[in-house]
């Protein structure tokens, strides 16, 4: 089992719709969770960080963490073509290790 798993996609959503990106992790004691956005050929940039169970909202973005089920998700409301990118989930585990998933490619269509 991979430490951090994401569906590679592409996930295609129409403009204005909600995009839902999911990530599961294997270390039940993981402490910190991050979502990064990466445009092709560019460096990852932080979208959200979440440390406790529940939802965290920032503008059009909502991160959801469920430690019991070991998943973290990212919702993007009112998706825009500029949101088309690869979204990376990163998890800091109880073993003091930061691991990235392979990313989900999101395509927002007009």
Binding site for other proteins (CB under 8 A): 8, 31-32, 34, 41-46, 49, 88, 90, 92, 96-103
* Cβ closest to other proteins, residue 18 vs residue 95: 95
Cα dist. 56→5, 33, 49, 50 in Å? Answer: 21, 12, 9, 7
Q: How far is the CB of 110 from other proteins (least distance, A)?
A: 27
- Considering only CA atoms, which of 103, 84, 97 is closest in space to residue 26? 97
Identity of the residue, 18 or 46, whose beta carbon is nearer to other proteins in the bound complex: 46
Q: Considering the complex, what minimum distance in angstroms separates the CB of residue 34 from other proteins? A: 6
Whole-number Å distance between alpha carbons of 24 and 1: 10
């Amino acid at each position: 089992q991979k430490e951090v798993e994401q569906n590679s996609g592409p996930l295609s959503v129409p403009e204005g719709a909600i995009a839902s990106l999911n990530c599961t992790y294997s270390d039940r004691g993981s402490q910190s969770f991050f979502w990064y956005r990466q445009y092709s050929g560019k460096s990852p940039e932080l979208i959200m960080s979440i440390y406790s169970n529940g939802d965290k909202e920032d503008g059009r973005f909502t991160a959801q963490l469920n430690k019991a089920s070991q998943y973290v998700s990212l919702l993007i409301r009112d998706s825009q073509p500029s949101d088309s990118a690869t979204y990376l989930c990163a998890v800091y585990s109880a073993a003091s290790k930061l691991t990235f998933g392979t990313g989900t490619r999101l395509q927002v269509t007009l």
